[in-house]
Structure 1
Amino acid sequence: MGFCSYKSFVILFCLIFTPLTKADLLSATLNYHQGSYSEAKREFLQLAHLGNADAIYNVAVMYLHGQGVEKNKAQAFAWFSLAADFGLLDARDTAMLIAEQTDNKQPLDDAYNALLKQLSFQWYDQQLRPELNASPALHLSPERRYTVEPKYPEHAYKNGIEGWVWLEFDIDKSGAVTDITLIDSYPEKTFDKAIINAVRRWQYQGNNQTLPYYNRSLLYHFTTYKGKQYEQSFKSQQREYNEKISDLIDAAEQGNALVQYYIANWLSSNDYNATRLLKYHWQQANANGELLLRSAVNGYANSQYRIGANMLRGKYGKVDREKGLNWILLAAQSGFASAQYRLGRELLNSQYVDYAPNKALKWLRAAAEQGLFSAKRDIALLLFDLKKPMQQVSTALNEALAGDNEHPQLLLLKAKIHAATGNSNDARKLSNSALKEAQTRNWDQSSIRHFIATLP
């Protein structure tokens, strides 16, 4: 029986056969071993500029042996020295050996200093590196006051299928959850509906400083607690499970960014049987964070976005807006729609010096082109606030309404457009519809009521 047919946590093992759409350390290394040196160098350089120490080391090797580039000991010395700065002791030994065998060391120093102007550990430390061992920052955020637990899908429970769902959602002034966005889930579509239906009913409490709250992130784990229910069957299959876990560990250590990302998610909960076996290899308390970072510096956009979002909310110590936005920008440049939307959203926050509505609009449009409803919604609202031509606002509004034609904020915006053009009767009808829909969804109605009070 092929191991991808297991219906317990072993479903995770299918991941090692899932092709990556973007280069990571594993694919770059495969290109290197297959003699595709130009492609390998391009990929290694891309990863090097994310702070990937192994990629930096491999660029040095290519210069040392003249693989895909002209053989150059000075460049090899520079890249080995840089890899040493990132903590690779073998690289320091090799750099010292090159220096010992070179009479004129000035070209070596010149090459190293020139490289440091492009990439250095100091730059990585200042611009990207999170403090994974730091305690989460104590900062104002809304607290959940009412929770509905999701119902475990019966077919998944009976078959021992476990997994997780990554959501983001907004919280309005009343503490209601609005506009849930599914970012990622595993297995795909297995648990999505259950958690979304539950989260819609959650309620939060806060104050004027914490509400409304945008882009609340949730990684929810669905586990069957099989350690108790299936202990005997687990023991009988543990040897085979261990073999599959070994395959996953090898893939992660060889630089498969997707596997690193998935293992990081599994290690973030202790309730999976998979976690029990994976923790034999990754025993440190923050193993999930370390693997998530490795996946991020390995070029995986999901991980880059998660790292950035964590920094914005202070998970790694203080809230670090600059580093957080840098990681989100990397993910956005890779085409990750949620990162593009978040970047646009952050650039609309006028309390920060990076406030830039026009840049925000650019990123929101990039996310909207990929079908992200929240981006379409915000584009329409932003164009109205920027006093763009009404035809332009109406076009954006219609595109957003195609995703939710009864959305209270969008109906209110449509009412405002009618009011601005002197059509008070339609404005009142639309605002009343917006109010009724907000009541149905149990969303905040204060802004709608305030607008209705201004109508003649």
Structure 2
Amino acid sequence: MLKKRINKGLVACFMLGTVVNTAQADLVTAYQAYQNKDYKLAAQHFELSAHLGHAKSQSVMAQLYLHGAGVEKDLVKSYVYYSLANDNQPSADLAKNAKAVFAHLSEDQKQQAKNQLKSDSAKWGEQALQTNIMPSIADKPLVLNPGRRVSASQRVSGSIFAVKRTTLSSAVLEYDIAPDGTARDIGVSHSYFVNKSGLRNMVNASYEYKHKVINKPAYQTNTIERQRTVWGQTTVTREFLKTDSPKIYKHIRQLEKLVKQDNADAKYQLAMYIIAFPALQTSKKEAFELLEQAAEAGHVKASTEYARFLILGRYTRRDIATGLDYLVKAAQSGESRAQYRLGREFLSGQIVKQDQQKAIFWLKQAVNGNDENAKYWLARALLDQEQTTSDELSLATQLLAEVEINHENNPNWHYYNAKALLKQNKRQQGLEWFEDALEHANDLEWNTEQWRTEFNQLKQTS
């Protein structure tokens, strides 16, 4: 019956796709293209990050326009980009470069440059970015630590992990903890050698996690965010890999050699292997140190992970401001996971000032980068608006349909499908989905008092 509802009640009416904006910033591609002297491709990606406020990208665009590399030579645009970069990240060199370019302009070009800078500053200048897309730390930042886990699923060990060919399977899952101690909205952060069926199994089993309830005001009114669990075999030790998976063992050894050569990408990859495969007998503190080094070298994926450690205060002193700085720069660089995490921070308002529209902006960027978690949360954010446009409703509905495989047992996924249908005035179907949400929530022992009140009010409404 559930499949029937999905097919007939939702997808058939909304086959619009999930592309919010086909252009997606990617600084990794930009720098690779630049090194390969493909300046046209480099310019395309640097410009996208420049429009997200990334000062280094704005500076590079100034140079490309100055020399006509990959773009038509344009001294006016070169001046404008140098000025924007200096506005977003002031430096004597940027100011000097802007002044030098400006000096070479004709009087007409100088007036044009002033007008263009005024126009572009209103979109991509420091003040405009702060107003439209950048975070501000909350007045009283809140980072909650969970109570100990008191129960967990026993279903998985007897299924996919019993199969020899999946021994190497590992996944890092993220979830929130509700005030009642139950796990909510589980998503896949990283996965290694796991097929879709395996991931679904891990996600569904993790919904049975329960944590000790903490009876303090902050814990009774907020979810505990950014929690992780690792699904990996305890048998995947170095000795096991050496004998049973020599290719993987050789790869890890190669990464370790590259780490000694100060290779940032190798540091990131090795750190994630350490996190995803605890049986490798390497401490998570070493993973943190590798991520820190890679992030300081400008590795955007490492920056996203390192930001999490700083915000939570794991293996280091908690530093929300620095953590956010790394997260924002990674998001500006086009790292979809960083964009997703930044969107989530805007939604929760626990460490940055809550802002629904900024959340939607960054979640859309992450969806463009095909982040699966962002699809689900963008759908929620769009549906939680007081007013949802028909286009937004169509997009939210399609996004919910696309993430079904990892959310079919998530009561919140059923609830937001109900919300989408009710916003379309499809009352009967919406109530049926709402009943599904309540049924799944009851099975997982969620506190459903608020939902039941809402459901009963809907039933009574003519």
TM-score, normalised via structure 2 length = 0.61
Amino acid at match of 1:378: Y
The answer for the alignment partner of 2:131 in structure 1 is 126
- Choose from 27, 30, 40 the match for 1:25: 27
SS in 2 for 1:316: coil
Task: Give the Cα separation in 2 of the matches to 1:187 and 1:135.
Answer: 39
1:147-195 Cα shifts (integer Å, max 9, x gaps): 347999999xxxxx99872323574x855445x4323224354996678
* Structure 1 counterpart of 2:414, from 377, 380, 396: 377
Q: Do 1:23 and 1:299's aligned partners in 2 also have CA atoms closer than 8 Å?
A: yes
Asked if the contact 1:136–1:314 (Cα under 8 Å) also holds between the matched residues in 2, the reply is no
Q: CA, structure 1 residues 387+123, in 2 after alignment: closer, same or farther (shift >3 Å)?
A: closer
Instruction: Check whether the contact 1:37–1:68 (CA below 8 A) recurs between aligned residues.
Output: yes
Aligned pair 1:99/2:102, yes or no? yes
How is 1:275-286 mapped onto 2 (pairs within 5 angstroms)?
275-279=288-292, 286=319
Q: 1:340–1:366: 8 Å Cα contact kept in structure 2?
A: no
Displacement after TM superposition at 1:36 (Å): 3.4
Q: After superposition, give the CA deviation of every residue in 1:120-145 in whole Å (9 maximum; x if it has no partner).
A: 1211122222357x786249x89647
- Structure 1 residues 114 and 251: alpha-carbon distance in aligned structure 2, compared to 1, 3 A threshold: farther
**Letter in structure 2 aligned against 1:116:** S
Equivalent residue, structure 1, for 2:68: 66
User: Counterpart of 1:67 in 2: which secondary structure?
Assistant: coil
Tell whether the 8 Å contact from 1:215 to 1:342 is kept in structure 2 after alignment: no
Matched to 1:128, the amino acid is I
- The structure with more radius of gyration: 1
SS of 2:69's equivalent? coil
Preserved contact between residue 44 and residue 58 of structure 1 (Cα < 8 Å)? yes
Counterparts in 2 of 1:76-225, with a 5 A limit?
76-87=78-89, 89=91, 90-102=93-105, 104=107, 105-131=110-136, 137-138=141-142, 144=147, 147-148=150-151, 165-168=172-175, 171=178, 175-177=181-183, 180-187=185-192, 189=194, 197=205, 200-203=208-211, 205=213, 217-220=226-229
| 1:366 corresponds to 2:398 | yes
Aligned position for 1:241:
256
**1:315-367 deviation per Cα after TM superposition (whole angstroms, max 9, x unaligned):** 43443444333322332454434323323323444xxxx41245563343131
Partner amino acid for 2:78? A
- Give secondary structure in 2 for the equivalent of 1:117: helix
Offset of residue 309 of structure 1: 1.0
**What is the aligned counterpart of 2:387 among 344, 356, 362?**
356
> Which residue of structure 1 aligns with residue 425 of structure 2?
388
What amino acid maps onto 2:414 in structure 1? R
Check 1:106–1:239 CA distance in 2 against 1; reply closer, same or farther (3 A cut).
same
Q: Contact 1:137/1:319 (CA < 8 Å) preserved in 2?
A: no
Checking the alignment, whether the CA contact within 8 Å between 1:128 and 1:326 is kept in structure 2 is yes
Per the TM alignment, residue 209 of structure 1 is displaced from its structure 2 partner at its CA by 10
User: 1:367-417, CA deviations, whole angstroms, 9 ceiling, x for partnerless residues?
Assistant: 1232334586235422554473468x28x96xx7xxxxxxx93186xxxxx
Matched, 1:305 2:320: no
Residue among 35, 39, 42 paired with 1:40: 42
Q: Deviations over 1:275-311 (max 9, x none)?
A: 2344456688656544332221111222101012123
TM-score between the two structures when normalised by the length of structure 1: 0.62
Q: Which residue of 2 aligns with 1:233?
A: none
CA gap 1:77/1:362 in 2 versus in 1, 3 angstroms: same
Rate the CA distance shift 1:409–1:209 in 2: closer, same or farther, 3 A: farther
Identity over aligned pairs, percent: 18
- The CA deviation string for residues 410-447 of structure 1, in whole angstroms up to 9 with x for no partner, is 186xxxxxxxxxxxxxxxxxxxxx5xx76654344656
Match for 1:27: what amino acid?
T
Task: Kindly indicate whether the alpha-carbon contact (under 8 Å) linking 2:174 and 2:189 is maintained by their aligned counterparts in 1.
Answer: yes
Match of 1:409 in 2: 435
Q: Which amino acid aligns with 1:48?
A: A
Cα distance change on mapping 1:174 and 1:110 into 2, 3 Å: closer
CA distance in 1, matches of 2:212, 2:435: 20
**What is the CA–CA distance in structure 2 between the aligned matches of 1:242 and 1:96, rounded to whole Å?**
46
Contact kept, 8 Å, 1:78 with 1:108, in 2: the verdict is yes
Partner Cα distance (1:129, 1:379) in 2: 27
Shift in CA distance, 88/341, structure 1 to aligned 2, threshold 3 Å: same
Where structure 1 has 5 or more consecutive residues not aligned to the other structure, the ranges are 1-20, 156-160, 231-236, 253-257, 401-407, 413-433
| Distance (whole Å) between structure 2 residues aligned to residue 315 and residue 177 of structure 1 | 18
Single out whichever of 278-287 and 322-331 deviates more from structure 2.
278-287
Determine the C-alpha separation between the residues in 2 that align with 1:409 and 1:213. Answer: 25
Q: 1:290/1:243 Cα in 2 relative to 1: closer, same or farther (>3 Å)?
A: farther
CA RMSD of aligned residues (A): 5.2
The match for 1:274 among 284, 287, 304 is 287
Q: Identify the residue that residue 380 of structure 2 maps to in structure 1.
A: 345
Q: Which has the higher contact order (CA 8 A, sep 6+)?
A: 2
Maintained 8 Å contact 2:328/2:342: yes
Q: Which runs of 5+ in 2 are unaligned?
A: 1-22, 163-167, 240-251, 277-281, 297-309, 311-315
Secondary structure of the residue that 1:58 maps to in structure 2?
helix
Aligned length: 376
Deviation at 1:87, TM superposition (A): 1.5
How far apart, in 2, do the equivalents of 1:303 and 1:442 lie? 32
The amino acid across from 1:123 in the alignment is: A
Partner amino acid, structure 1, of 2:284: D
Contact 1:343 1:363 in 2 (8 A): no
| Mapped contact 1:347–1:357 kept (Cα < 8 A) | yes
Distance in 2 (alpha carbons) for counterparts of 1:337 and 1:240 = 28
SS at match of 1:168: strand
Distance 1:210 1:100, change over 3 A: same
